[in-house]
Homo-oligomer: A and B are copies of this chain.
Amino acid sequence: MPGPIKLAVIPGDGIGPEVVAEAIKVLDAVTAASGTVFEKTWFSLGAARFIETGDVLTDEDLASISGHDAILLGAVGGVPGDPRLKDANIERGLLLRLRFSLDHYVNLRPTRVYPGVASPLANPGDVDFVVVREGTEGPYVGNGGSIRRGTPHEVANEVSVNTAFGVERVVRFAFGQAAQRRQKLTLVHKTNVLTFAGGIWQRIVNEVAAEFPSVAVDYLHVDAATIFLVTDPARFDVIVTDNLFGDILTDLAGAISGGIGLAASGNINPDGAFPSMFEPVHGSAPDIAGQQKADPTAAILSVALLLEHLGLAEESAAVTTAVTEDIAGRGSVVRSTSDIGDAIARALGA
């Protein structure tokens, strides 16, 4: 890489700053060993910033973040019911605005049951799949409205918008993943009910499939997919799905694989026109914030995804290996957030 890599860091709210601190510790450890230089800019965004200034994400924030090579985000969202946040929607105004503005059309969420992790499933089997969740369309577009709000005659609508342009690019990315993995792609939707939204997904998957003859394609309704995620999760290789179904399936995937504390994700703009953003799937968990109770593993694994995205395959693999070994040795000992980060950083030579 020519020159330092510019990294925007958004610790956010709740446990966000704690887990990001450990993720950066690990990033520093692995890059100190390899010589790659990251230049970090910290952004103070989230509920705390809104309460202080009334801003969620200004145009200047967005422009400044856009100028970076990649983004690491902890978690955003205040304490539920905090009256000072009544008029803020941090999720839409910050997280979703970043994903939409930076055209993160691939939301990549790998799931593995790591050796040594206790799954809530009696027999999870050999689970190793990735969900390719569309990130810029579907029911997430914010295309809703209501009339006669608050009256007995209110009607509140919400529109799922799906375009051939938007579906095709994410479907093609998912096939590319399957071609590099176990050659299996499962489309998840609800084509029998959402006939228009489901129809465009089904048609485009059929079309793109012709370009990937080695990839076997199947289809599941979203309700059936949740059944298989608990009865036979090992059947999945790559799942491609829309923004809302992907949200639901990846939380479930996190749960069956032994906890959302291990689930990493990348919000990716594969074209490279905008910086991609890496974040744990978990939320800000205000109830345990500041107590060094959060598991930083998902944030650390998000760093592995970030490194891989930047072409730093060796550093990425080193982080994944260090995490995998750490997980395998965990047993039932409870460690603090920073103890876990320290142990993984130490394994990387820190």
Interface residues of A (CB under 8 A from B): 77, 89, 91-92, 96, 118-123, 139-140, 142, 144-146, 148-165, 168, 190, 192-197, 199-200, 203, 222-224, 226-227, 230-231, 244, 247-248, 250-252, 254-256, 260
Contact = CB atoms under 8 A, between A and B. Distances in A.
A89 B195 contact: yes
B252 A226 contact: yes
A252 to B, nearest CB: 4
Q: Can you list the 6 inter-chain pairs with the closest CB atoms, starting with the nearest?
A: A144-B196, A223-B251, A154-B164, A226-B252, A156-B200, A227-B255
A196 B145 contact: yes
Given A91-B193, A120-B122, A230-B230, 6 more contacts: A91-B192, A120-B230, A152-B165, A154-B164, A158-B159, A159-B159
A227 B251 contact: yes
Nearest to A199: B156
A193 B92 contact: yes
20 contacts: A91-B193, A92-B193, A121-B122, A121-B230, A142-B195, A145-B196, A146-B196, A146-B200, A153-B164, A154-B163, A154-B164, A155-B161, A156-B199, A156-B200, A157-B160, A157-B196, A158-B197, A223-B248, A223-B250, A223-B251
Contacts of A222: 247-248
Copies held by the complex = 2
A157 B166 CA distance: 13
Nearest to A122: B122
Contacts of A226: 226, 248, 251-252, 255
A254 to B, nearest CB: 7
A193 B243 CA distance: 11
